[in-house]
Structure 1
Amino acid sequence: MKHKILSTLLVITLTFFNQIVNAQQAKKPKLIVGIVIDQMRSEYLYRFQDNYTENGFKRLLREGFNVKNTHYNYVPTATGPGHTSVYTGTTPTNHGIVSNDWYSRALNRTMYCVEDSTKFLVDSDGIKTDLKFKSYFRSPKNIKTTTITDELKLFTKGRSKVIGISLKDRGAICPAGHLANAAYWYNSNNGHFITSSYYTEKLPNWLVDFNNAKKADSLLNLSWKPLLPIENYKNSNPDNDTFEKVFKGKENSTFPYNLKKLKSNNGGYGLLTEVPYGNTILTQLAKTIIKEEQLGKTNETDFITISYSSTDYVGHNFGIRSKELEDTYVRLDREIALLLDTLDKEVGKGNYTLFLTADHAGSDNPVFLESKRLPGKFYNSKQIKDSLNAYLSKEFGEANYIAYMDKTQAYISKTKTPKEEVIKKAISYLKNVEGVKEVFAPGLNEWNVKNSTIGYFIANSYNPEESGDIYYHMYSGWMEQRTYGTTHGTTYTSDTHVPLLWFGAKVPKGESVKQHSITQIAPTISMMLDIPLPNASDRNTIEELFE
């Protein structure tokens, strides 16, 4: 009899417990936190982990879900299209952000991905309409589809708050979408965080106070030296490699960096973005926003997008195997821990869902590759453009046939010669350029993605209005000419493979090695929140999170 009673009590207890667990799982998170780390390779989660704390990246790995085999699926892999693809759930062929910059045929000039001449800079002292500030005239108008943040705002009839922040304008604007309450980014002229008149004509009082606190000045008075004893940084190259940037005022690229001394000759307030303290000030801003905007405090789900940019600047300056980069990630780990602690206290454990990924990865400098007897070389897109134009001029008569060319695309100018003929001749020339693996002309009828090793990437990239007439693809290990550091942009795993961690409400513990695309993040959030997919989104979710 006792055994029957105990068994009955056990069943009742387990049923009650399961009901509580199911109710908690069914409850929508009060806040979604989207973190994009600029230029983070997936391997950084592991290569630098000996120097990570238990409460940053390791906590996300330990308590969350790790989608280990996540990749970008278009070209070029860059910041503007990266952030946009994460939040739209689609690729440049639909959302139209084909690169950070592209050639506008309508304007006859290059244009920037978030430029908007009809919207103006808004700083602490108000709106700035003077054309001398035009490099800050920004909005999301060039994004041709909805974002997951847009869909959340539509679903809740605007009751959800959506705020995007970054050091870079494109890192704040593209994730926040068209309907955001605000997007804030860093003004490298004065150390303030600013916005666009697209969102408001006046900064909130709390942000004016934040700017008036002169946090950028305080950080730029510091010296950047290793957070830990430098002998602990065993997973990076020796300090002062030959292919690292040397700041003006220094003789070499070694620690320490006296920022107060270097500031005036190295971009002024812009120097903050190139050192780990740029991530520090962004975390300070995120904490302030969560508290001041009372995110996660209502019955509706709010959304904050956070894009850490200093990792990208450090990677570009010092490369993916530098002591400076390892120190930057060691410090970023502490920033992540601080952010998680703030979320736990302000929103509550189990009340928020967080994902962490990157907008692209980064490749090894060819100088390093050659030193290790690995394949790799530099190429120069300007030289290729000049030689291609000379060839076309010889074939068709003197003219400027190439309107614009970057490291992946070429735009053909309007000339008397039919464009199709120019494109075909250009392709025949480019195929014989050293380092070029394949050349494509997506607008030509005979072009066939099935005949290409990267046709899938090109199909996801090509937008007839914004894309170039020709795509060209280099061999692995080849990189656009540079004097130091690294870059990105290719379809190779060095540039496409990024981390994807999920943590918090509605997220199981575990990991998956199944290949996933970056465009699956947005539909996964849609299903978690039971809201519509962005209108051009990938239909496929990360199913393992729902099993």
Structure 2
Amino acid sequence: MKIAVKLFLIIYIITNQSLLSQDNNKPKLVVGIVIDQMRAEYLYRFQENYSENGFKKLMTDGFHVKNVHYNYTPTSTGPGHASIYTGTTPSNHGVIGNNWLDRKSGKEMYCSEDNTVYKIDMDNADINATAYARSPKKLLVTTITDELKLFTNKRSKVIGVSIKDRGAILPAGHLADYAFWYNSKNGNFITSSYYSKKLPKWLETFNNNKVADSLLNSVWNTLLPIDKYVNSSADNASFEKIFNGKEDAAFPYDLKRLRKQNNDYGLISEIPFGNTLVTKMAKAALIGERLGKGKETDFLAISYSSTDYVGHNFGIRSKELEDTYVRMDREIESLLTTLDKEIGKENYILFITADHAARDNPIYLENMRLPGAFYSPLDIKKSLNEHLSQEFGGTNYVEYVGKSQIYINKTLSNREKVLKSAKSFLMKQEVVKEVCIPSLSTSLCNSFMENGYHSKRSGDLLISYNFGWMTDMKFGTTHGSSSNNDTHVPLLWYGHNISKGETIKPYSITQIVPTLSFLLNIPLPNASNNVPIFELFK
């Protein structure tokens, strides 16, 4: 009997130690960070002004995947966030742009629009507030965050946080506990009735602290002496945005004086303090929702948007952008410090990437004697309409022109002839590199076009523009093309069971999800790429 009891105790101890080991082998939290419009080279170009505990720490102590690209067009915020978290391209997940033409209604559709829900703010819910009627309804497949919720029978918590609604909603997926984004009318973080009929108490407290106000009543000057910013062009370039009430695009920016003339609370999106606000909000969500404190792995999806706005306003060579990334480095440092304190250094997995990159303003390219120019989508629409009217008679052939696609009037009886004529005309334009007609079997598309094409949502003509060309704009930069400038983004991994190292092997953005799936031992999302980043498993 004594031998049997001892044997039972030994088996019991071994079994429980094994179970404990298995339980300890999974992270308490996954933190996914998307830095909007971040080019991969920013990790190096601005590196000398980074701290030792931000980007450098992740590059030194984590795993750096140096050759990650988007594999579709257009490269934009909505498709980027959707692709990162679904592990597939717009051809499957359906988010073909930030906006597209809805064939049924004939109206422009926004990627997270949903008029069946309404905003939830500090005041009473306003069912008529369609400007904030948002949900993941337009996303047609599951996300890694959805699969985590399904795997744990919804015991895992999933939270999305961003200035932009699409930056919070699409990563958090269909089953999220919450997605929170910024209300540019009053400085609050809000959600929609898709998630809850009221804000959690901790968020009410956060909003009542008026963090946006305190940031907007300060001055934006360079964090470091401006003469240390040697990896950007001279301050106040001709193609930089000048805020209302200011005479030039040069430091410093007196935000308290400028805010009322520049969309008031909305101004915070366009300055690096918008990223500071998101960091503070992410920390509040981490603590308020007790993420990483339960038995299951939780997920915090953070998207930093101000980097995108600063790039659009000032361009990729500006002093404003360099300062924004020096400050972004400090946001990462601050977040890592909080995660180490609240969750524990080895208890979370963190990855950082971007939803797209960006390219140089053609004025800058011209000054540097490099190829590039502007083109006008409105002029393309007008001239194509005129050409088709001359050839076939009538008017109103072109319904909508997006970043990389054109919608032709669906009521035409001679659509095939019209499409072929439109392609022939467009190919003669200096700006156009390639045109594809997906509906015609004789029309071959390149892989970027095919991956970005959804048969129910995309346009009739897919367009690729020549490298260096950009839509006409008064200042800053944009994105959307298949050039390396727009597709090459960073990817850093850090934390639980992540070994130090780097790889230059080419990977696509859709391989983040299968990597996470295998690291967490949960199912792949239903349309996901199934090839992980192999080096992370050695």
Q: Which TM-score tier does this pair reach, normalised by the shorter chain?
A: over 0.9
Q: Offset of 1:316 from its aligned partner?
A: 0.1
Determine which of 65, 68, 77 is the counterpart of 2:75: 77
Higher mean displacement: 179-188 or 431-440: 431-440
SS in structure 1 of the partner of residue 116 of structure 2 = coil
8 Å contact kept, 1:126–1:203: no
- TM-score, L = length of structure 1: 0.94
Given the alignment of the two structures, is residue 470 of structure 1 paired with residue 461 of structure 2, yes or no? yes
Q: 1:391 is matched with which residue?
A: 387
Q: 1:93 is matched with which residue?
A: 91
8 Å contact kept, 1:401–1:415: no
Determine which of 515, 523, 532 is the counterpart of 2:514: 523
Q: Offset of 1:23 from its aligned partner?
A: 5.1
- How far apart, CA to CA, are the structure 1 residues paired with 2:157 and 2:485? 36
Q: 2:310 is matched with which residue?
A: 314
Q: CA offsets, 1:252-301, max 9 Å, x none?
A: 00000011111111111000000000000100011111111111111100
- How far apart, CA to CA, are the structure 2 residues paired with 1:292 and 1:99? 33
- How far apart, CA to CA, are the structure 2 residues paired with 1:250 and 1:24? 59
Q: CA offsets, 1:448-503, max 9 Å, x none?
A: 23xxxxx1111111101111110111111010110100000000000000000000
Determine which of 430, 445, 452 is the counterpart of 1:461: 452
Q: 2:12 is matched with which residue?
A: none
Given the alignment of the two structures, is residue 346 of structure 1 paired with residue 342 of structure 2, yes or no? yes
Q: 1:262 is matched with which residue?
A: 258
Determine which of 478, 482, 488 is the counterpart of 2:473: 482
Q: CA offsets, 1:111-153, max 9 Å, x none?
A: 00000010100001231112xx211100000000000000000
Q: 2:321 is matched with which residue?
A: 325
Higher mean displacement: 36-45 or 431-440: 431-440
SS in structure 1 of the partner of residue 406 of structure 2 = strand
- How far apart, CA to CA, are the structure 2 residues paired with 1:347 and 1:522? 23
- How far apart, CA to CA, are the structure 2 residues paired with 1:306 and 1:226? 25
8 Å contact kept, 1:399–1:415: no
Q: Offset of 1:406 from its aligned partner?
A: 2.1
After TM superposition, list the pairs within 5 Å mapping 1:525-540 onto structure 2.
Answer: 525-540=516-531
Q: 1:235 is matched with which residue?
A: 231
8 Å contact kept, 1:29–1:351: yes
- How far apart, CA to CA, are the structure 2 residues paired with 1:419 and 1:398? 14
- How far apart, CA to CA, are the structure 1 residues paired with 2:147 and 2:95? 19
- One-letter code of the match for 2:407? Y
- How far apart, CA to CA, are the structure 2 residues paired with 1:273 and 1:221? 14
Q: Offset of 1:215 from its aligned partner?
A: 0.7
Q: Offset of 1:434 from its aligned partner?
A: 1.3
Determine which of 94, 98, 110 is the counterpart of 1:112: 110
8 Å contact kept, 1:85–1:518: yes
Q: CA offsets, 1:320-369, max 9 Å, x none?
A: 00000000000010110000000000000100000000000000000000
Q: CA offsets, 1:207-242, max 9 Å, x none?
A: 011111111110000010000000000000000000
Q: 1:65 is matched with which residue?
A: 63
Q: Offset of 1:245 from its aligned partner?
A: 0.2
After TM superposition, list the pairs within 5 Å mapping 1:181-260 onto structure 2.
Answer: 181-260=177-256
Q: 1:420 is matched with which residue?
A: 416
- How far apart, CA to CA, are the structure 2 residues paired with 1:346 and 1:415? 59
SS in structure 2 of the partner of residue 126 of structure 1 = coil
Q: 1:6 is matched with which residue?
A: none
Given the alignment of the two structures, is residue 135 of structure 1 paired with residue 140 of structure 2, yes or no? no
- How far apart, CA to CA, are the structure 1 residues paired with 2:304 and 2:124? 26
Higher mean displacement: 350-359 or 391-400: 391-400
SS in structure 2 of the partner of residue 191 of structure 1 = coil
Determine which of 267, 273, 291 is the counterpart of 1:277: 273
8 Å contact kept, 1:521–1:542: yes
Determine which of 116, 123, 126 is the counterpart of 1:125: 123
- How far apart, CA to CA, are the structure 2 residues paired with 1:377 and 1:346? 50
Q: 1:9 is matched with which residue?
A: none
- How far apart, CA to CA, are the structure 2 residues paired with 1:139 and 1:420? 36
- How far apart, CA to CA, are the structure 1 residues paired with 2:421 and 2:131? 37
Q: 2:492 is matched with which residue?
A: 501
Q: Offset of 1:25 from its aligned partner?
A: 11
SS in structure 2 of the partner of residue 340 of structure 1 = helix
Q: 1:29 is matched with which residue?
A: 27
Determine which of 40, 43, 49 is the counterpart of 1:42: 40
Higher mean displacement: 394-403 or 535-544: 394-403
Q: 1:103 is matched with which residue?
A: 101
Q: 2:11 is matched with which residue?
A: none
Determine which of 517, 529, 533 is the counterpart of 1:542: 533
- One-letter code of the match for 1:204? P
Q: 1:431 is matched with which residue?
A: 427
Q: 1:51 is matched with which residue?
A: 49
Q: Offset of 1:416 from its aligned partner?
A: 3.8
Given the alignment of the two structures, is residue 510 of structure 1 paired with residue 501 of structure 2, yes or no? yes
- How far apart, CA to CA, are the structure 2 residues paired with 1:419 and 1:31? 52
8 Å contact kept, 1:25–1:505: no
- How far apart, CA to CA, are the structure 2 residues paired with 1:528 and 1:25? 13
- How far apart, CA to CA, are the structure 2 residues paired with 1:407 and 1:273? 23
- One-letter code of the match for 2:77? T
Q: 1:441 is matched with which residue?
A: 437
- One-letter code of the match for 2:520? L
- How far apart, CA to CA, are the structure 2 residues paired with 1:240 and 1:324? 9
Q: CA offsets, 1:47-88, max 9 Å, x none?
A: 001000001000100100000000000000000000000000
8 Å contact kept, 1:25–1:506: no
SS in structure 2 of the partner of residue 305 of structure 1 = strand
Where in structure 1 are there 5+ consecutive unaligned residues?
1-18, 450-454
- One-letter code of the match for 1:328? T
SS in structure 2 of the partner of residue 128 of structure 1 = coil
SS in structure 1 of the partner of residue 345 of structure 2 = coil
Q: CA offsets, 1:143-193, max 9 Å, x none?
A: 000000000000000000000000000000000000000000000000000
- One-letter code of the match for 1:134? T
Q: 1:16 is matched with which residue?
A: none
- How far apart, CA to CA, are the structure 2 residues paired with 1:66 and 1:168? 27
Q: 1:7 is matched with which residue?
A: none
Where in structure 2 are there 5+ consecutive unaligned residues?
1-16
- How far apart, CA to CA, are the structure 2 residues paired with 1:521 and 1:416? 43
SS in structure 2 of the partner of residue 185 of structure 1 = strand
Determine which of 285, 288, 297 is the counterpart of 1:292: 288
